[in-house]
């Protein structure tokens, strides 16, 4: 066999091999992309179709049953307070220490005269904390605002000479972010505002004098008291 014939035969074999390989790749690609439809037994197709139909009907029946149950459910009533757009979610913060002054921004810094020797001992026997205001009875100036934890005592020392009465804001769950009208900071639960009632309960100090006052949420404390609102407390 001549050299030319051998080259021709080799070329034909090579071309045929490349053709087979390319055809195999194309077949696999089409199969993977569902482009080849395999022949199936007509009877098998019929059985599968019936089976699929039964399954579909079963799904429809189950869905309809769920829809019927939902339609027959009793309506759920949402408490009206949950629909209030001004509803505040209670948040938790550390309880301030005795003597903390949360309202200096409204009343100014506390007024002291450490040489006076005057002292007011506040006993908080309630089950609520309190912010106690010491108010000058004649000028109405709030000279102190002090936090007093429930079940504890706190001494206001260095009180200037003068005549005073008390107001206090009681409650639980203190939050520095809680809004009370136009004011920020307060108790989120059990909130109430109180002041001493009569001029006969005013307390005068003129040097080295001491008063002890017990806070009660009901009548029975050392002084008569009455409820007030937030505006009266902060003004």
DSSP tag of 38? P
**Banded model confidence at residue 48, pLDDT cuts 50, 70, 90:** low
**Contact residues for 181 (Cβ-Cβ < 8 A; gap 6+):** 230, 231, 234
Mean of the pLDDT values across residues 139-147? 97
Alpha carbon distance 147, 95 (integer Å): 10
CA atoms within 13 A on the CB side of 118: 16
Mean of the pLDDT values across residues 17-27? 50
**What is the CB neighbour count within 10 angstroms for residue 149?**
18
Q: Which pLDDT belongs to residue 81?
A: 61
Alpha carbon distance 118, 112 (integer Å): 10
**Contact residues for 136 (Cβ-Cβ < 8 A; gap 6+):** 142, 143, 162, 163, 164
**Mean of pLDDT over the chain:** 81
Q: Which domains are present in the chain? A: 3-70 (no CATH), 104-234 (2.60.40)
Alpha carbon distance 53, 71 (integer Å): 27
Find the helix or strand (DSSP H, E) in which 192 lies. Answer: strand 183-196
- Range with lowest mean pLDDT among 10-24, 123-137, 190-204: 10-24
Q: Residue 204 above 90 pLDDT?
A: yes
Alpha carbon distance 99, 131 (integer Å): 9
Long-range contacts of 185-190 (CB under 8 A, 24+ apart): 185/102, 185/103, 187/128, 187/129, 188/88, 188/90, 188/91, 189/90, 190/128
Q: How many helices (H) and strands (E) does the chain have?
A: 4, 9
Q: Which pLDDT belongs to residue 192?
A: 94
Alpha carbon distance 1, 37 (integer Å): 47
Q: What is the pLDDT of residues 171-189, one digit of tens each?
A: 999 999 999 989 999 999 9
Instruction: Copy the structure tokens of residue 39.
Output: 């022949």
Q: What is the pLDDT of residues 109-135, one digit of tens each?
A: 999 999 999 999 999 999 999 999 999
In angstroms, how far is CA 30 from the centroid of its own chain?
Answer: 58
Residue 85 burial by CB count (10 A; 0-12/13-18/19+): exposed, middle or buried?
exposed
Alpha carbon distance 113, 100 (integer Å): 18
Q: Which pLDDT belongs to residue 219?
A: 44
């Amino acid at each position: 066999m001549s050299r030319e014939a051998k080259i021709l035969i080799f070329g034909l074999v090579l071309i045929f091999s490349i053709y087979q390989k390319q055809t195999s790749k194309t077949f696999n690609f089409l199969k993977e992309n569902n482009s080849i439809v395999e022949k199936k037994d007509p009877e098998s197709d019929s059985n599968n179709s019936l089976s699929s139909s039964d399954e579909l009907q079963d799904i429809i029946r189950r869905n309809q049953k769920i829809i019927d149950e939902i339609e027959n459910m009793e309506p759920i009533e949402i408490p009206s307070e949950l629909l209030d757009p001004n509803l505040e979610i209670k948040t938790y913060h550390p309880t301030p220490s005795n003597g903390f002054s949360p309202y200096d921004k409204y009343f100014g810094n506390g007024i002291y005269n450490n040489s006076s020797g005057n002292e007011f001992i506040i006993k908080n026997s309630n089950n609520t904390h309190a912010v106690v205001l010491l108010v000058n009875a004649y000028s109405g100036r709030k000279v102190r605002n002090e936090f007093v934890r429930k079940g504890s005592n706190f001494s206001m020392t260095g009180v200037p000479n003068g005549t005073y009465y008390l107001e206090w804001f009681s409650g639980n769950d203190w939050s520095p972010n809680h809004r009370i009208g136009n004011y920020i900071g307060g108790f989120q639960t059990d909130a109430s505002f109180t002041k001493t009632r009569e001029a006969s309960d005013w307390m005068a100090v003129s040097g080295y004098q001491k008063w002890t006052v017990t806070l009660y949420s009901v009548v029975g404390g050392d002084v008569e008291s009455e409820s007030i609102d937030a505006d009266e407390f902060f003004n």
